[in-house]
Amino acid sequence: MQVFLNGRIVPESEATVSVLDRGFLYGDGLFETVRVFNGKPFRWAPHFQRLRKGAGFLAIPFSWSDAELTLAISDLLQRNGLSDGLLRLTLSRGIGPRGYSAKGANQPTLVITTHPLQIGQGLLQWKLAVSSLRVAAGDPLLTLKTANKLLNILARSEAEARGADEALLINTDGHLVEAASCNLFWIEQGTVCTAPLDAGALEGVTRELVQEICRGLGIPTAFKRISPPALYSAEGTFLTLSSLGIVEAVELDDQPLPRTKLTARLAESFQLQLLAEC
């Protein structure tokens, strides 16, 4: 694999950062995971915008333009011969004086890597487990795709240890927020619901796309605060992530979740959008 590293293309074996890079020291950075289809990044614009917005929030100087990165990505995808898979962009604050203060760290590190992706046919189905960990309701960092992902990693490990595929995250108010690597949707009386951002949800690109699809199909949507047991009486539950699109949730803590044909319909709309745009 060839890797984009601060404007240069280098072989993976040479794609390294200093042990003093604040990304390695503190997770002081952001990332994006972008689906690639037919050799093109899907929904690149909102990913780029979120990265730039996050950099603004963290005051990481970000001078790459949309056009520069579009060109770099196109070049990288060609060199790596990737038609269907994933891009990962990682932005860190780079090297600075020792300590938490960000003063004097003005040369960020930008890395772009490509990754293959195995996706089978049909709607993916995952088992969920509620995590014992709690995210802080209202934490603005949770809306960004930051490189601080230990809680998500631990939650995923907990879920895997219990035989589930993915963890559900609850906030300190007891409300459902999202899954460790996905946004969460559920359907109540035909309305497609998800948690509001200020509950602690990531401002997900596929989360926004689902709402766009619903508007197109005339399906009502809402932002709601619920606790986990409410999913057992919902009509259906699904997850969204950039890499896989829509994944149906079929179990929560070893108990079956209700299922609705609407989930498959939305997943089909997602696939049509992918085909139409890439």
Q: Tell me which residues touch a copy of itself (CB under 8 A).
A: 3, 5, 12, 15-21, 23-28, 31, 58-59, 86, 88, 90, 92, 98-103, 111, 113, 115, 133-141, 146-154, 156-157, 160, 171-172, 180-181
- Would you say 200 or 236 has its CB closer to a copy of itself? 200
d(CA 93, CA 29): 6
- Would you say 148 or 260 has its CB closer to a copy of itself? 148
Residue with tokens 């990332």: 31
Q: Minimum distance from CB of 244 to a copy of itself (Å)?
A: 11
d(CA 267, CA 195): 19
Closest alpha carbon to 168 in 133, 207, 203, 125: 133
**Is 267 in contact with 120 (CB distance < 8 Å)?**
no
Exposed/middle/buried for 230, CB within 10 Å: 0-12, 13-18, 19+?
middle
- Would you say 105 or 192 has its CB closer to a copy of itself? 105
- Would you say 43 or 145 has its CB closer to a copy of itself? 145
d(CA 198, CA 175): 11
Q: Minimum distance from CB of 136 to a copy of itself (Å)?
A: 4
For residue 264, how far is the Cα from the chain centroid?
Answer: 21
Q: Minimum distance from CB of 87 to a copy of itself (Å)?
A: 11
- Would you say 16 or 233 has its CB closer to a copy of itself? 16
Q: Minimum distance from CB of 11 to a copy of itself (Å)?
A: 12
d(CA 130, CA 139): 20
DSSP string, 63-126: ---HHHHHHHHHHHHHHHT-SSEEEEEEEE--B-SSSS--TT----EEEEEEEE----SS-EEE
Q: Minimum distance from CB of 5 to a copy of itself (Å)?
A: 7
**Residue 228, helix vs strand vs coil:** helix
- Would you say 12 or 254 has its CB closer to a copy of itself? 12
- Would you say 134 or 265 has its CB closer to a copy of itself? 134
Closest alpha carbon to 114 in 89, 91, 148: 89
Q: Minimum distance from CB of 107 to a copy of itself (Å)?
A: 16
Q: Minimum distance from CB of 252 to a copy of itself (Å)?
A: 19
Q: Minimum distance from CB of 144 to a copy of itself (Å)?
A: 9
